[in-house]
Structure 1
Amino acid sequence: MSTVSPGILLVLDGWGEGPADEGNAIAAAKTPFLDRLRSNCPTTLVGASGQDVGLLPGTVGNSEIGHMVIGAGRPVPYDSVLVQEQIDSGGLRTHPLLADVCVRLAEQNKALHLIGLCSDGMIHANVEHLRELLFAVAGHGVREVWLHAITDGRDVADGTAGAFLHRVEEYAAEAGVGRLASVVGRGYALDKAGNLALTKEAGLLVADGVGRPVRHAQDAVDQDDKGDEWVAPSAVVGDDGQPVGLIGPGDAVLFTNFRSDRIQQLADFLVEHVADRDVATISLAQYDTRAAIEPLVGRAPTGGGLAEELERHGLRSVRVAETEKFEHVTYYINGRDSTVRAAEEHVRITGEGPVDYRQRPSMNLGLVVRAVVENCQREDVDLVVANLANIDVVGHTGDFKATVSATAHTDRAVEQICAAAADSGRWVLLVGDHGNAERMLIGDGDARRPYGGHTTNPVPAVLVPAKEQAVVLADRTGGTLADIAPTVLTLLGCAPGADMSGQALWRSTGHPDAAQIVHCGSTGIGLVGAAFSVGSTATPIRLAHRLDALLRVSEDGASEVLCVHNGGDEPAAFVPARHLPDRPGTRLVFVHGETTTRARDEEIECVVAPHGHVWLGRVGNASGGGQI
């Protein structure tokens, strides 16, 4: 093993923080181990949506941008943001590539086919972009425009597909061009698990009108009872009973999703299927397809991230995830770079299981845990990066009970991984990539319904230090996913990369200064046991208005614990060293609860949230403190 401090970065997909109400599947689940970690280990909440990660303000986070920002160490302007900038500037309507395609179609009386997800979930697409595109092509004189709608039910609430189809029809009427030609659920059209049979059904529908005939697009939704995600491939037919909007010779196709991963399988199929029809194919944003598809909007650079820094320092990493999230811990966390570096190993976990995750919320989690444990026991591996997919993948089904079960399975998996990490001398950094399962109901009263989409909530970040590892609490408040890569590198013993704007949330130190507050990975049971034992003393202290404390001192005076509670409605601050005075050979340690720290002159000041608490102690430099 290298001289660095080895660790595990564990991404709990869809692990958000929200009110513990009836729609919070995470709060409803039995998670004793995660609860204990969050109570006893350094913990904070970090932003995972909107401008914190490079999205438009108020936009929910997602796995792709979440892992990209985790890896980049800085917010990355997302494709949806770059598209919106083009719209706001008027650049999309005058884009030379779009203009060239449209002028040819208008001159040759050929059709344009717009294909994309029909919702405003802002994860893969935004139906509002379709409106702008319709106005753009109308302005270039294209007379025949066919719309091939992919219904959602995952990024937005199930049962909303009909409303979105109606909105598309309104956009077409407003622009004076465009008609719905086909409707299919995203379960078919946006498969990315390699199920080419599903992709083929969607592709033949769009290209050749092969599917269930319907007179009106709305009929496709009304006739289906499997939810918006699995609307059967449905072709709109004319008065003659024949499907309309087939892709003909000389036509053009424009894919309207701004996110690549789920549309690219369909895109590759269609390009190959219509290869003999002289069809021009372009996309709204850049895709990672085998076929050469020219985009209207490019990408922001993502280099200089975690993968490059690990390589520069000669550190070996192993990436582990189930198929559903494998690209996220490899391709996306590496800055949308498919290169497998020499000191990088990729472990894709596959296994048999139903397509409907509600039937098996554990997924293949046992295999993921086994792979993580095996690799964290290797002395040549400095960092294991793994994704536990269950909370997010099952949460997307909108099934509350199944998601509660998925969360409980995740809790047990984290416990096994942390046990293996402790045995092998590794720290573990847990973090969510976006919110999801903490909000599974939306609406009020009779309009209340299940929700399987993402949220704008912050996500937890929890550090489980290695045994005898001292961790200095961050001298800051807040944080975002951009801080994760700098934290990982700092814990490993390396400086953050020059291109990273994020800052380490915590840092490891072998010799903490007595004035600093540290969290030690070795057990703190002895410290607390002594301070609360028979013969110990308890002295009440008023630190500030509504900020009260109890100073526990062991009978021999060697162990001290200051138990602080904020009974007010505002944050309150105190200086620990004034109540746990410095003695030679001792240091302040974090024991329990939650606090943020900040510098006050030459002292460290702790801030306690309203109605929050924190326990701090003073121990000798050779003693343990922290995790109980």
Structure 2
Amino acid sequence: MKSKTINKKVILCVLDGWGIAPKSRSNAITSSKKKNYDYLLSRFPNTILNASEIDVGLPKGQFGNSEVGHMNIGSGRAIKQDILRIYDAIDNGYLKDNQELKDLKIKSKRIHVIGLLSPGGVHGHEDHLFALIDLLANTSKEIFIHCILDGRDSSPKSGINSMRKLKEKINNKPNVKIGTISGRYYALDRDNRWERIELAYRAIVEGKSKNFFLDPIEAIEKSYNNSLTDEFFIPVKIGNYNYIQDDDGLLITNFRADRVREILTSMFDENFMHFKRKKINFSKSLGLIEYSRKINKYMDSLFKPVLVKNTLGEVLSEKKIKQMRMAETEKYAHVTYFFNGGNEKQFEYEDRILIASPRVNTYDQKPEMSAFELTEKIQVQIKKK
């Protein structure tokens, strides 16, 4: 007997950043009128899942984030995250004996380390930066650290304490110097705002910035005095840093791909057109992880991706069930790359629609973002067969 095909549509709607916490004056969700959400909770089965720490493959004490959430939802199970793999590699000596790091030290005239200086642990962690500096520092070659301040996945002014820790860390390492400081608003854009990337590029690659400081602590204090917190720190060069030279080496210490792709594209892409820049001839380029198939042509990585099989998207594809992935640009990677377990491949029967995020400096200026445009597109797709 031939089975009957049921033509029904299912929506998996991710309210990114929507949390569950005790009612209080500071809880925006419990303080708001949510007619539709409350109706769904009162009429249909629901449950609560823990979205942090080991339950989603993170270290103890580490809060969850958007990448981790989408990857776990799309995989249907807890996936050991790169942050945990890196901590394990530091503890068990894997990084100490890693040949890629040894080659970086041998082949490079000087070494440039670019990474997030933050305890946040979402896109990178200062613990990893400190550990890698320790492993690289036992050489006579100059090492320049290009610090990216956080202030978004960490306290808005946590950068100054992190910088104090970094200065203490390199105090007895005369060959290790702080080259530049940038806020993540500039260096880690992910929505094609190339005018932001350019400011970080000019400082890091060319040693050019509107201001410069001898002391990184003074630079951060000055930024705070101008009401610019870590995220919005305007890129500056520090001390006698000049620029990236031919045959220098590069190490990226971020362990999440989406926010370093643009700055790396500006450094490597031979067909780059967004602003004028010269070609950089690195002796060796190395990242903590693989950042994209395109960037893989120019960079090696310390940690290869773990292939996550049998994700929801893959299973639906194998069953020849159509699926539509839809998001605005700010979250496009999450409903595709991360939801597919870190797989850049677009599955058969999987379609995608991308909607531009609003062009504002920060989303508190337009908190609804592109939700209404997204809703209209979803309604059109629901009506299709």
Partner of 1:283: 287
* Distance in 2, Cα, partners of 1:274 & 1:134: 28
How many angstroms does 1:356 deviate by?
Answer: 2.0
Partner of 1:376: 382
Distance change in 2, residues 1:175/1:213 (3 Å): closer
2:103 partner SS: helix
* Distance in 2, Cα, partners of 1:19 & 1:142: 55
Alignment TM-score, normalising by the size of structure 1: 0.56
**1:150 paired residue among 148, 151, 158:** 148
Partner of 1:228: 230
How many angstroms does 1:185 deviate by?
Answer: 0.6
Letter in 1 for 2:177: R
Partner of 2:272: none
How many angstroms does 1:276 deviate by?
Answer: 4.4
2:288 partner SS: strand
Contact 1:134–1:177 under 8 Å retained in 2: no
Structure with bigger helix share is 2
* Distance in 2, Cα, partners of 1:205 & 1:321: 33
Write out per-residue CA displacement over residues 462-513 of structure 1, whole angstroms, 9 at most, x where no aligned residue: xxxxxxxxxxxxxxxxxxxxxxxxxxxxxxxxxxxxxxxxxxxxxxxxxxxx
Distance change in 2, residues 1:232/1:156 (3 Å): same
- Name structure 1 gaps, 5 residues minimum: 239-243, 381-628
* Distance in 2, Cα, partners of 1:308 & 1:232: 42
Contact 1:190–1:263 under 8 Å retained in 2: yes
**2:50 paired residue among 43, 47, 50:** 47
Structure with bigger strand share is 1
Question: What's the C-alpha RMSD, in Å, of the aligned pairs?
Answer: 1.9
* Distance in 2, Cα, partners of 1:289 & 1:187: 24
**1:263 paired residue among 247, 260, 264:** 260
Of structures 1 and 2, the larger Rg is shown by 1
Contact 1:260–1:288 under 8 Å retained in 2: yes
Letter in 2 for 1:268: T
* Distance in 2, Cα, partners of 1:94 & 1:274: 34
Partner of 1:332: 338
Contact 2:116–2:126 under 8 Å retained in 1: yes
Distance change in 2, residues 1:111/1:351 (3 Å): closer
Contact 1:207–1:246 under 8 Å retained in 2: yes
Letter in 2 for 1:341: F
2:147 partner SS: strand
* Distance in 1, Cα, partners of 2:111 & 2:84: 25
Letter in 1 for 2:150: D
* Distance in 2, Cα, partners of 1:276 & 1:324: 29
Partner of 2:41: 38
How many angstroms does 1:363 deviate by?
Answer: 1.3
Q: List aligned pairs for 1:57-96, cutoff 5 A.
A: 57-96=60-99
Contact 2:119–2:154 under 8 Å retained in 1: yes
* Distance in 2, Cα, partners of 1:289 & 1:23: 43
Letter in 1 for 2:288: L
Distance change in 2, residues 1:52/1:142 (3 Å): farther
Contact 1:271–1:281 under 8 Å retained in 2: no
Contact 2:107–2:249 under 8 Å retained in 1: no
Contact 2:288–2:301 under 8 Å retained in 1: yes
2:186 equivalent to 1:188: yes
Distance change in 2, residues 1:53/1:274 (3 Å): farther
2:170 equivalent to 1:172: yes
Distance change in 2, residues 1:2/1:205 (3 Å): farther
Contact 1:145–1:177 under 8 Å retained in 2: yes
Q: List aligned pairs for 1:166-565, cutoff 5 A.
A: 166-173=164-171, 177-211=175-209, 212-224=211-223, 225-238=227-240, 244-272=241-269, 275-288=279-292, 290-291=294-295, 292=297, 293-350=299-356, 352-378=358-384, 380=385
How many angstroms does 1:66 deviate by?
Answer: 1.1
Distance change in 2, residues 1:46/1:281 (3 Å): same
Letter in 2 for 1:167: K
Q: Which has the higher contact order (CA 8 A, sep 6+)?
A: 1
**2:6 paired residue among 3, 24, 32:** 3
- Name structure 2 gaps, 5 residues minimum: 270-276
Contact 2:358–2:366 under 8 Å retained in 1: no
* Distance in 1, Cα, partners of 2:337 & 2:177: 37
Contact 1:117–1:124 under 8 Å retained in 2: yes
Partner of 2:118: 119
Write out per-residue CA displacement over residues 207-244 of structure 1, whole angstroms, 9 at most, x where no aligned residue: 11111212211232222222211111111134xxxxx1
